[in-house]
Structure 1
Amino acid sequence: RGFKMGRLGFGDQDGIIYAMNYHPRYLDCFLRTQNFMLTGNGPLPYDYRYYIGIMAAARHKCSYIVNKMKEEFLLQGGKEEWLTSFESIPQKLQNLNTLNKILAHQPWTITKEHISELLVGPYSWTVSEIVHALVLLAHFHNLPSFVWGSGIDDNIACKDSNDPSINSVNSGSEEGGLVQYLMERMKSISENSSAKINEDSLKTFESVVASQDLGVQSHDTDVSKDVQMFVRDSLFCYQDFAKRNEPSSFSTLRIQDYCWEEHAFSLICELYNDVGILLDEKFKLSYSLTYYTMGSEKGVDTSFFRRAVWNYVHCLFGVRHDDYNYQEVNTLITRPLKTFIKIVCCYPEKIRKCDMDMVMPEFKYSEKIHVLLMIMEARLQAELLYSLRVLMQYRT
């Protein structure tokens, strides 16, 4: 089956399509969402949409996406001059830079003032335009996590399913090791699932947040000039939401106070309705997707593992679920996997293909792709929660 990718020039042999097609239902949902953002009804002109995608993907130095977006920008009639320097684009787009860098790296620091500044002056945005821009920024901030995490590259041909390197990863070198460990832990959690979430829940959350200090630090990575020209304040990067033995200067975003289902979804449906429905479907599908397998084991309930991955990603960005026992994160997500998730979320340009091969050694390749999809979607949801919450605060 061939796919078109929302006027991005990606054919069915493109790396993104190839990898996501291990999960056809998700791929279909992903394409419908991206197609709508780029080509469907919406307040932003087409050249703005593609340029915002360029700006967003460039924050994580993803030349793979940037170059494809540049091609489509020109096909949409975009001015070639815009691609020569940041100063050549309209001031209205330049004014989006602060929002772009904050949401890409430290979304919890966004304030309603960042929104209000865009709504005034001679180059002002409308509220509906801002919502369209927020969705585009979030989408193209997070797609690089999948591109880098799965090892997709312009110069690397798509791997065939018979590739021995993939098969060797799938079989794993420690049969009965990690998978057996996870199955035993998930069974134990299931048997004790009736345990009450008590006042220690906050302390457990804080301990998981503090454990994010995994020795992962940002550093300069090689980046082409074609990408660098779209980035301002290039040294601005992810900082741990909280450090060990140091209280965070920012409040956590409690899902009980502001969640996707009850708050953000309603707001986005009001201002950009169809995309809210598409995003909601994509979030639910990536979270609930299962084939009841784990490595060579069948008939496995993976819900506890999926929930731990999702909530750990939220934890990295200061999003807290009061009704969740965060001890499950420490129980189910090994330190190497925590490190991998953190790099994919926060510094995706540092990931190498072999990193995905080494974590989850007994997982099938398709299962690793699913983990990447969950990481991408959970991080995207966290970014939208922060940005839409401040938009709601501005409107009230």
Structure 2
Amino acid sequence: MGELPEPRPQFLHQKPTVSLVSPLSLFLQVMVNGDSERLSLLVNRGNADAVSQQMASHPKYLESFLRTQHYILHMDGPLPLPYRHYIAIMAAARYHCDYLVYLHSAQFLRVGGEPQWLQGLEAAPPRLRLLDHINKVLAHQPWLTGCSHIQTLLKTGEQCWSLAELVQAVVILAHCHSLCSFVFGCNTDADFVPLSSKSPNGTPPTFCPFDAANGNSLDSTCDMMCLKERIQKSQEERETQTLQQTGNTEKEMICFADASRFITDPDFCYQEFARKEEDHFQVFRVQDYSWEDHGFSLVNRLYSDIGHLLDDRFRSVARLPPLHSTDMKRAIWNYIHCVLGIRYDDYDYGEVNQLLERDLKLYIKAVACFPDSTKTPVCPLRWTPLKTSERIHINLLIMEARLQAELLYALRAITQYMIA
């Protein structure tokens, strides 16, 4: 099979067109037949949403992604269809991802959702509002997820959730949070702001403390606060320019996709895991609770077949061609889990610094932890001659590692609730 054409770069933070409301139905028969090449051709001819077009350079993975997404949003499950899309809106809103907020708002209305709910979170049913806290925690500081969050949702009188409903809701939240990272991370062909290789004004760099004992600082590139400020300034300038060039119809669409109405506690965001001595969060050790040995069986038992579909996604991204080396892919995966509080006892984290260049580590951390601030990336992947498909490959790794990390925290909390 010849080399597939690379997808045309798109800016995924812009509003999708109406044709994107229900793209998956176009591919169902192709996916059933397992014809990944034909699927990729359909996508590259413009018969798909912008996300699928970005993923088209990896057709086997795209097939797995679309099958999973279609299952959780459209197939049999304990939650009604409007609830599923509203939960997706809540998840995307945490990262101010207007693209996904608009997309799922349109789908929400198409499947019979109550338009009034789109006025804001306060207009939604109490049961959906109860998800707000776990949505916030999983999105920004998943290590805070505990048994008490699960208990609150399952034991709240008439508004309580069933265990099966909660598991599907958690899967949708994790899926959409990680997809936000992909949406923003894939704008790699946008104009970039040059990034200084040194911390400004002598500000000490942040680092991941897990490997400090071995003398290996995993984040020795620059001050993340400076990075966030520069990204925010760049984004504000772009949004101001966009609004000045936008007509009345476009302004109405932007208003419709306003994410802020679905957010509470907007200042709650990612913080360095256990960055201070007074923090006593316990490291999540994969040897104690892993996807393969624990998470897969639990989620598959409570939400039929989703475990197999998610596992296929993880395997599909692992089977993508090596990025210069197989060890580099593992370094990216383990580094993302590391900054989210998950550690592998059998991995030498010194390899992260050896295999990942400084700018790449900074890019990975920004996309994984601050996706709402990466609409205009300031971390160009230019230091090596990467093809578009390779840049997308890196963003797929970020997305899947984030997805698995959130699922591990949520499923461990559910396990603790069940055995309590």
- TM-score in same-fold range (> 0.5): yes
Which of 338, 345, 349 is 2:372 aligned to?
A: 349
Q: Does 1:386 align with 2:415?
A: no
Give the SS at the match of 1:77: coil
The whole-number CA distance in structure 1 between the counterparts of 2:213 and 2:65 is: 31
The letter for the 2-side match of 1:340 is Y
Q: Please tell me whether the aligned partners of residues 218 and 352 of structure 2 are also in contact (alpha carbons under 8 angstroms).
A: no
Once the two structures are TM-superposed, the CA of residue 354 in structure 1 deviates from its matched residue by 5.5
* 3-state SS, counterpart of residue 50 of structure 1: helix
Residue segments in structure 2 that go unaligned for 5+ positions in a row = 5-18, 28-42, 193-208, 240-253
Q: 1:332 aligns with which of 322, 346, 355?
A: 355
Q: How far is 1:206 from its partner?
A: 7.3
1:242 aligns to what? 274
Match of 1:263 in 2: 294
Q: How many residues align?
A: 343
Q: Show the 5 A alignment for 1:44-55.
A: 44-55=79-90
- Alignment correspondent of 1:187: none
8 A Cα contact 1:29 1:281, kept in partner: yes
In structure 1, the residue matched to 2:165 is 129
Aligned to 2:309: 278
Once residues 308 and 214 of structure 2 are traced to their aligned partners in structure 1, the CA distance between those partners, rounded to angstroms, is 33
1:107 has 2:107 as partner: no
CA distance in 2, matches of 1:82, 1:49: 13
Q: Which residue type is aligned with residue 62 of structure 2?
A: L
Map of 1:48-197 to 2, 5 A cutoff? 48-120=83-155, 121-151=157-187
Q: Secondary structure at the match of 1:114?
A: helix
Unaligned runs of 5+ in 1: 153-164, 170-200, 295-299
**Aligned equivalent of 2:224:** 216
Give yes or no for contact 1:8–1:72 (8 Å, CA) kept in 2. Answer: no
| 1:202 and 1:322 in contact (8 A); partners too | no
2:50 to 4, 9, 15: 15
Cα separation, 2, equivalents of 1:333 and 1:247? 30
Aligned position for 1:41: 76
Q: Is the 8 A contact 2:359 2:379 kept in 1?
A: no
- What are the Cα deviations for residues 139-162 of structure 1, in whole angstroms up to 9, with x where unaligned? 01111111111129xxxxxxxxxx
Counterparts in 2 of 1:263 and 1:362: CA distance versus 1, 3 Å: same
1:235, distance to aligned residue in structure 2 (A): 0.6
CA offsets per residue over residues 349-380 of structure 1, 9 Å max, x none? 22255546444531111001000000110011
Deviation string, structure 1 residues 251-283 (Cα, Å, up to 9, x no partner): 111010000000000100110121110000101
Task: Report percent identity of matched pairs.
Answer: 42
Does the C-alpha gap of structure 1 residues 380 and 212 become closer, same or farther in structure 2, counting only changes over 3 Å? farther
Structure 2 distance, partners of 1:5, 1:81, is 25
Letter in 2 for 1:147: V
In structure 2, what residue type is equivalent to 1:129?
E
TM-score when normalising by structure 1: 0.80
Q: Does 1:319 align with 2:342?
A: yes
Q: Deviations over 1:15-59 (max 9, x none)?
A: 211110010001000000000000111100100000000000010
Residues 142-187 of structure 1 show CA distances to partners (whole Å, capped at 9, x for unaligned) of: 11111111129xxxxxxxxxxxx79xx9xxxxxxxxxxxxxxxxxx
Per the alignment, in what secondary structure is the counterpart of residue 267 of structure 2? coil
Q: Is the 8 A contact 1:205 1:320 kept in 2?
A: no
Partner residue, 1:229:
261
Are residues 131 and 206 of structure 1, via their aligned partners in 2, closer, same or farther at CA, if it must alter by over 3 Å? Answer: farther
CA shift in 2, pair 1:335/1:272, >3 Å: same
CA contact (8 A) 1:5 1:31 kept: no
Answer yes or no: is 1:304 the counterpart of 2:327: yes
CA RMSD between the two structures:
2.9
CA contact (8 A) 1:212 1:240 kept: no
